[in-house]
Amino acid sequence: MSISVKNLTHIYNKGLAYEVKAVDDVSFDIADAQLAGIIGHTGSGKSTLIQHLNGILKPDSGNIFINGTDITAKSTKLYEIRKRVALVFQYPEYQLFEETVALDVAFGPKNLGLREEEIHERVKEALLLVGLNYSEFENRSPFELSGGQKRRVAIAGVVAMRPEILILDEPTAGLDPKAHDDILKMISEIRDKTQATIILVSHNMGDIASMADVVFVMDRGKLVKSGDPHEVFADSRFLSEIGLGLPPPAKFLELLATKGVDVPVSGSILTQERLTEYLAGRLQV
């Protein structure tokens, strides 16, 4: 599903002395099946922005089109939109509540009024998509799982709804390195197997650089830069000015450049794999 945001503005405490324009005249487009990354420092408006995309928040002005449907129109049934556009908040494992993993994942599909057979199939499918074996986890308590496993179960509960747009707000926050990598692998597999449009909000520039087709940069409520990862991360000075850094491989090469080493221009090598290839060729190993 495609997303088109036109001149979106959202103001908190409107009309009061301490009103804040959290999203300020933002416009962008995301094509069907793209993975879009949204970056920006804390308070830049990222979370406020994404909460408009399935109607949790209403804009003060502007429009949002999901596959051509204006979800900001009064006639739009947001219940139908929310079945197709899913938002996973930061630390979704805090919302687990059922006695078993299977029951927790089944909660959403049950609310759709599906038959038991269909619910069962969706639970199995969702757990498989997030990398958890159904027979091993179905009867386990979600509260006895590791942090990474809990997060997978929470995301499985959303995936079981079979959304066509999946929005993930800091999905790797607070996880150890292995769980972090597992979640990224899970997101890639969900994308490959479902062809869903995915929006990934993250402070991790390495994750965005390695996964996103298009990157949107937020600063003080405004969309200040957009493009593919190479275009966005090529402007390291601008990113630094708004409190953002480079992906680790690009940062490493930039450090080498300050030492007088002839290296590729900023933004040309963004992933660990590409850096390894470059250094191996440079060192002829």
Interval 38-61: pLDDT, tens: 999 999 999 999 999 999 999 999
The residue to which tokens 């090598």 are assigned: 269
Per-residue pLDDT tens, the chain, 285 aa: give them: 999 999 999 999 998 999 999 999 999 999 999 999 999 999 999 999 999 999 999 999 999 999 999 999 999 988 889 889 999 999 999 999 999 999 999 999 999 889 999 999 999 999 999 999 999 999 999 999 999 999 999 999 999 999 999 999 999 999 999 999 999 999 999 999 999 999 999 999 999 999 999 999 999 999 999 999 999 999 999 999 999 999 999 999 999 998 898 888 777 899 999 999 988 988 875
Judgement on whether residues 27 and 69 belong to the same structural domain of the protein: yes
Task: Output the pLDDT for position 284.
Answer: 78
Judgement on whether residues 257 and 232 belong to the same structural domain of the protein: no
Task: Output the pLDDT for position 243.
Answer: 94
Judgement on whether residues 241 and 251 belong to the same structural domain of the protein: no
State the distance between the two ends of the chain, measured CA to CA, in whole angstroms. 45
Judgement on whether residues 207 and 281 belong to the same structural domain of the protein: no
Q: How far is CA 242 from the centre of its chain?
A: 21
Is 198:211 a contact under the CB 8 Å cutoff?
A: no
Judgement on whether residues 268 and 130 belong to the same structural domain of the protein: no
DSSP 98: S
Radius of gyration of the chain (CA): 20
Q: Which two tokens stand for residue 130?
A: 């997030």
Q: Is 68 left (phi over 0), alpha (psi -120 to 50) or beta?
A: left
Single out the residue in 230, 245, 260 at which a domain terminates: 245
Judgement on whether residues 193 and 258 belong to the same structural domain of the protein: no
Strand 61-66 relative to strand 3-12: parallel, antiparallel, unpaired?
antiparallel
- Residues 6+ positions from 28 with CB-CB distance below 8 Å: 4, 5, 216, 223, 226
DSSP 44: S
> String of b and e for 146-169 (b: at least 16 CB within 10 Å)?
eebbbbbbbbbbbbbbbbbbbbbb
What letter represents residue 200's amino acid?
A: L
Judgement on whether residues 202 and 76 belong to the same structural domain of the protein: yes
Q: Which domain holds residue 267?
A: 246-285
What DSSP assignment string belongs to 170-211? Answer: STTTT--HHHHHHHHHHHHHHHHHH--EEEEE-S-HHHHHHH
The residue to which tokens 């490493």 are assigned: 252
The rounded distance, in Å, linking the Cα atoms of 207 and 205 is 5
Judgement on whether residues 92 and 232 belong to the same structural domain of the protein: yes
Q: How many CB atoms within 10 Å of residue 170? A: 18
Q: Which two tokens stand for residue 41?
A: 């420092």
Domain count, the chain: 2
Name the pTM for this structure: 0.93
Task: Output the pLDDT for position 285.
Answer: 59
